[in-house]
Amino acid sequence: MIEPIDETQRQQVLAHTEYYIASAETVLQRSFERIPVLFDLSGTTAGMFRACGRQREIRYNPWIFAKYWQVNLESTVPHEVAHYVVHEVYGAGKVKPHGEEWRALMHYFEADAEVTFKLDLADIPQRRQRRHPYRCDCRDHEVSSTRHNRMCKGTGVYLCRYCNSRLVYAP
């Protein structure tokens, strides 16, 4: 099993994040707020920019960074900073996440504008959702925790793709 990056490496990631934010400020001739940068991402995602209301943050996966250090410094860091900058300039939902504005910024950063991460993650700790038993009129189903929680809250309804009847919890 791979170990996550250490504090020295985290500081290098923070410095690279700062570098790309400062570069965006230069090219766009405006300043950007310094937002929290967290190293709490797990699973198969190397990085994520997240905005919820006025709260914005960049999250990195310290295990994937440890396994593919240079690739992440050169690709993931500018990728997430570009999402942050595009969000600040254009607002939420105004442009496509990997649209021309994002691609232009990635070009300015001289970073690869690939959208997906295609490297072997076999020894990276993975999140595994629990499965929950459900039934319909024709068979048993196993539903992920995400869908189970939506159904419990009343925010999601799922139908069987074979008989089109509603899935019902079957503990």
* Structural domains in the chain, sorted by start: 7-108 (3.30.2010), 131-169 (no CATH)
- Taking each continuous run of H as one helix and of E as one strand, the counts in the chain are 6, 6
* Nearest alpha-carbon partner for 169 in 142, 138, 155: 142
pLDDT over 80 at 37, yes or no: yes
Give percent of the chain with pLDDT exceeding 70. Answer: 97
pTM for this prediction: 0.74
pLDDT over 80 at 47, yes or no: yes
Tell me the pLDDT tens digit for each residue of 116-130. 767 777 777 776 678
Q: How many CB atoms lie within 10 A of CB 41?
A: 19
User: Which tokens sit at 21?
Assistant: 């934010």
Output b/e per residue, 3-23; b: 16+ Cβ within 10 A: ebbeeebbeebbebbeebbeb
Report the SS3 class of residue 101. helix
**How much is the pLDDT for 127?**
66
User: What is the Cα–Cα distance from 122 to 120, expressed in whole angstroms?
Assistant: 6
The contacts of residue 75 (CB under 8 Å, 6+ apart) are: 111, 112, 114
Instruction: Identify each DSSP E strand in the chain by its residue range.
Output: 37-38, 47-52, 55-60, 131-135, 140-144, 168-169
